[in-house]
């Protein structure tokens, strides 16, 4: 499906849900010349711009440190199938430089703003709780208590279903040691069925704040 048709299909949906797209670096990703890499990156940014203009993408940004997960895109779509379509036309994915992992994300209500001009990148911290064992039924109540104790988050929500990750949230600021200590108290980490991945994350100033 061509990108304009894809974007139109996504933007016309009703009762949309939120999905977290993790842009990851594949193993043995191909290397390109500096000129070709620049073209791929420009195409990647143009693709994101089209998704933003269509109202499909709400926030996106890179991780500010070396990790297999290179960045995220938060999108709204009617269902998982349509959510998975959103990154398909990204030139960086077509070139094999990135791959997309798509997860449903039951986020608390967020009011998104508009990026300030000229664009400035601000750094906050994202925590992903990776599943390492069976998730008990008690997680829901434990998670609600943890969120109330966690305090201010920019975006937060569980990842429902049997996926690689259980929970994801973005905390203001870049005090990684402090946030890692908070993540260590997550019920899944304490209970031994999850582990925390804590990464500095950049996004355009003005898009998401509390």
Cα 169 from chain centroid (whole Å): 9
What homologous superfamily is domain 121-204 in, according to CATH?
A: Dimeric alpha+beta barrel (3.30.70.1060)
pLDDT digits (tens, 9 = 90+) for 52-71: 999 999 999 999 999 999 99
All CATH 3.30.70.1060 domain ranges in the chain, comma separated: 3-104, 121-204
In this structure, which CATH number among 3.40.50.720, 3.30.70.1060, 3.40.50.410, 3.30.2130.10 belongs to the domain 3-104? 3.30.70.1060
Structure tokens at 204: 């355009």
What's residue 119's pLDDT? 87
Cα 105 from chain centroid (whole Å): 9
Structure tokens at 112: 């998104």
**DSSP secondary structure string, 124-141?**
EEEEEEEE-SPPPTTHHH
pLDDT of 6 over the 50 cut: no
Q: Give the residue among 78, 97, 98, 101 at the shortest CA–CA distance from 21.
A: 101
What's residue 210's pLDDT? 64
Q: Is the model's pTM score more than 0.85?
A: yes
pLDDT of 158 over the 60 cut: yes
What's residue 8's pLDDT? 45
pLDDT digits (tens, 9 = 90+) for 20-43: 999 999 999 999 999 999 999 999
**DSSP secondary structure string, 8-66?**
HHHHT-SS-EEEEEEEE--TT-----HHHHHHHHHHHHHHHHHHHHTT-EEEEEEBSS-
In this prediction, residue 46 has a pLDDT band, given cuts at 50, 70 and 90, of very high
Q: Are 50 and 137 in contact (CB under 8 A)?
A: no
Alpha-carbon gap, residue 13 to 36, rounded angstroms:
35
């Amino acid at each position: 499906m061509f990108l304009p048709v894809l974007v139109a299909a996504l933007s016309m949906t009703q009762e949309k849900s939120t999905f977290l797209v993790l842009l990851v670096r594949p193993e043995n990703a191909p290397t390109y010349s500096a000129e070709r890499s620049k073209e791929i990156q420009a195409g990647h940014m143009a693709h994101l711009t089209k998704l933003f203009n269509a109202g499909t993408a709400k926030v996106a940004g890179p991780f500010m440190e070396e990790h297999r997960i290179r960045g995220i895109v938060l999108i709204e779509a009617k269902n998982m199938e349509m959510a998975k379509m959103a990154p398909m036309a990204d030139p960086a994915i077509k070139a094999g430089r990135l791959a997309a992992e798509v997860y449903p994300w039951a986020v608390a209500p967020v009011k998104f703003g508009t990026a300030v001009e000229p664009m400035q990148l601000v750094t906050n911290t994202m925590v992903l709780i990776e599943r390492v064992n069976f998730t008990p039924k008690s997680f829901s109540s434990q998670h609600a208590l943890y969120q109330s104790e966690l305090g201010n988050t920019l975006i937060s929500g569980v990842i429902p279903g049997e996926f690689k990750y259980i929970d994801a949230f973005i905390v203001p600021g870049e005090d990684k040691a402090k946030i890692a200590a908070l993540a260590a108290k997550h019920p899944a980490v304490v209970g031994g069925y999850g582990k925390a991945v804590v990464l500095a994350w950049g996004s355009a100033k003005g898009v998401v704040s509390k």
